[in-house]
Structures are given as C-alpha cells and as structure tokens.
Amino acid sequence: MDPHLAEDEELAKLKAWWKKNGSSIIVGIVVGLGAIVGVNGWNMYTTNRAETASALYFQLRQHANTPDAGAAASLARELRADFSATPYAASGALIAAGTMYDSGDVDGAREMLDWALQNAADANLQHVARLRLAYLELGEGNAARAVELASVDDPGSYTSHYAEIRADAHRLAGDEDKAREAYDEAIAALGPSVSQYAEVLKAKRNSASRTN
C-alpha cells in the first residue's frame, strides 16, 4: 500500500474520531484543570483564613494582661463573627472574659464565657468555660447558678474541680452538710499529681464542719 494513502486514511480516521470525541475531551480537560485550580484556591483560602485567625488571636493574647478590656472584647467578637468554627474563637472568648471581668465588666465576661461554653468544639475548652463561668457566678453570690453549672453528667478529668465549686456554693448557701459531701468528693477525685491540694480541700471541709 502507498504509505501516503495509508497516512491519509489514518488522518481521516483521526479526524472522524476527534469530531466525535474531541468536545468531551476538551470538557474533561477543562473540568480537570478547574478542579485542580479549585482545590488549590480552596487550600489557599483556608490557609489565609487560618493565618488571619491566628494573627487576631495573637493580638488578643497581648491584651490579656492589660487594662484594655475594650480591645480584647473587640478582637474576641471579631474572632467569633468571622472564625467561629476555629478553636481561636472559643479560646479568644476565654481570654477576653478574664480581661473584662478584671476591668469590672461582669456581664460582658459572663456573656463571653457563655458563648465559649455553647460554641467550643473542644471538650476541654467547654469544661474550662463552664468552670470559669461557675466561678464567676460563685464570686457574684449566685450559689444556685454555680451549683447548676458545676453539676455535669460527664465531668471528664475535672471531677474534683466541679465538686469543689459545688461545695463552695453549698457553703455560700448555708448548706454545710452538702458542702462537706462535695468536699469529700473533691478530695477523693484528686489525682496523684495534685494530691497536695487535698490539704486545702480538707481545711475547707473542716471549716464547714466547725460552722455547723
């Protein structure tokens, strides 16, 4: 066979195949490139958001030990509004709450702690928010609310902390019997690493016994 005729025949077959399948190949290439660009774009987007959230959180931490509660609250609210799904938002709310409470903004601190409690995805952050909120209520004389916050079905590794808050709240409310029971629970739940704190709890329990 004439090689030129063979080439012409193959070329004709190629053109026919391309006419039939070329458009779908082009679409496939475009979709594939689009997917790659989309994934890279999304990764860049999420990376930029994480960096922004981290920068805001760093700024917030700088205000933790200053009297500038307004700046801390503003940064915490920005984290809550724009980055609520990140751990930075709940952690930032905890930091802002401390600064706000120290400045005398009890209601603002309470709101920050309650938000962290309701929105933190991490169980440990939830416990920290709950404990700090319970301590705040205890400090404000709200014994019943403190007991309510410190009564949880799954205290995790914070059993002693919750029991001590309940004991302090019962004492504040004048129920020494419940206070002693809760102090005993707090003492029993102490781990070896903090066993020295048992003396503090025993002193508080003994004090509750004497006032009965």
pLDDT tens for residues 37-63?
A: 444 443 443 556 677 888 888 888 887
* Chain centre to alpha carbon of residue 90: 4
Cα separation of 123 and 181, whole Å? 27
Residues 65-95 have pLDDT tens digits of: 777 888 889 999 998 998 888 888 899 899 8
Residues in the chain: 212
Cα separation of 184 and 198, whole Å? 10
Q: Which of 18, 84, 21 lies closest to 53 in space, CA to CA?
A: 84
Can you give the pLDDT at residue 21?
Answer: 53
Domains and CATH numbers, the chain: 3-210 (1.25.40.10)
pTM beyond 0.75: the answer is no
Cα separation of 145 and 77, whole Å? 25
Cα separation of 117 and 137, whole Å? 14
